[in-house]
């Protein structure tokens, strides 16, 4: 008779966790950007004007906005992944990755709308809250699924 043992697969060290977070954050940020882009298109904006909102300087371009967004998404992905790496395995086995990512994204959204976007006078702050929330939700769920240690069933 076979026994199933549930284990958590974690990166071997914090460096691997950081790399996982960098790549996971970039991928999740890409999908978040596409979500916000789609919402902008539905609201009648052009793709160019939506992507320019992500720019941080005076010379806003769609390319600079896209790169700025992916850079920030990658950094936040590293932070999430390294934080998760430091959590006890017991906690990791209780909370699913998508939920941990969603909670993390909710904290990022709160930080963005209350401090970062107003402080930077970012044009992203002009988007409806539901658009920012939908983008952050996509980011969090995807990030959590990509970098959170997953349960693996091993046959013993």
pLDDT band at 152 (very low <50, low <70, confident <90, very high): very low
CA angle 133, 84, 116 (to 5 degrees): 40
Which residues have a Cβ under 8 Å from the Cβ of 48 and sit 6 or more positions away?
A: 62
* Domain ranges for the chain: 4-155
Q: Which residues pair with 151 in a beta bridge?
A: 8
Q: What is the pTM of this model?
A: 0.86
Residue 93 CB: number of other CB atoms within 10 A? 13
Provide DSSP, 25-68: HHHHHHHHHHHHHHHHHHTT--HHHHHHTT--SSS--HHHHHHH
**How far apart, in whole angstroms, are the C-alpha atoms of residue 142 and residue 28?**
5
The pLDDT, as a whole number, for residue 9 is 63
Q: Strands of the chain (E only): list them.
A: 4-9, 150-155
Q: What is the per-residue pLDDT across 56-73, written as a single tens digit (0 to 9) for each?
A: 767 778 888 888 899 999
Q: What is the per-residue pLDDT across 92-128, written as a single tens digit (0 to 9) for each?
A: 888 899 999 999 999 999 999 999 999 988 888 888 8
Residue among 45, 38, 37 nearest 66 (CA): 37
Structure tokens at 7: 């284990």
**How far apart, in whole angstroms, are the C-alpha atoms of residue 156 and residue 153?**
9
Mean pLDDT of 128-155: 83
**How far apart, in whole angstroms, are the C-alpha atoms of residue 152 and residue 22?**
23
User: Of 5-19, 28-42, 85-99, 128-142, where does mean pLDDT reach its minimum?
Assistant: 5-19
Residue 91 confidence (pLDDT) above 90: no
């Amino acid at each position: 008779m076979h026994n199933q043992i549930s284990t958590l697969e974690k990166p071997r060290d914090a460096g691997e966790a950081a790399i996982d977070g960098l790549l996971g954050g970039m991928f999740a940020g890409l999908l978040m950007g596409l979500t916000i882009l789609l919402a902008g298109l539905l609201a009648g904006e052009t793709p160019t004007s939506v992507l320019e909102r992500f720019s941080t300087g005076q010379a806003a371009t769609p390319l600079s906005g896209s790169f700025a967004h992916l850079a920030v998404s990658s950094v936040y992905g590293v932070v999430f992944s390294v934080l998760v790496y430091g959590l006890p395995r017991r906690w990791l086995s209780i909370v699913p990755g998508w939920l941990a990512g969603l909670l993390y994204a909710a904290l990022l959204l709160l930080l963005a709308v209350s401090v970062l976007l107003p402080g930077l006078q970012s044009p992203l702050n002009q988007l409806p809250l539901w658009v920012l929330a939908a983008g952050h939700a996509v980011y969090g769920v995807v990030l959590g699924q990509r970098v959170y240690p997953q349960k693996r069933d091993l046959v013993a």
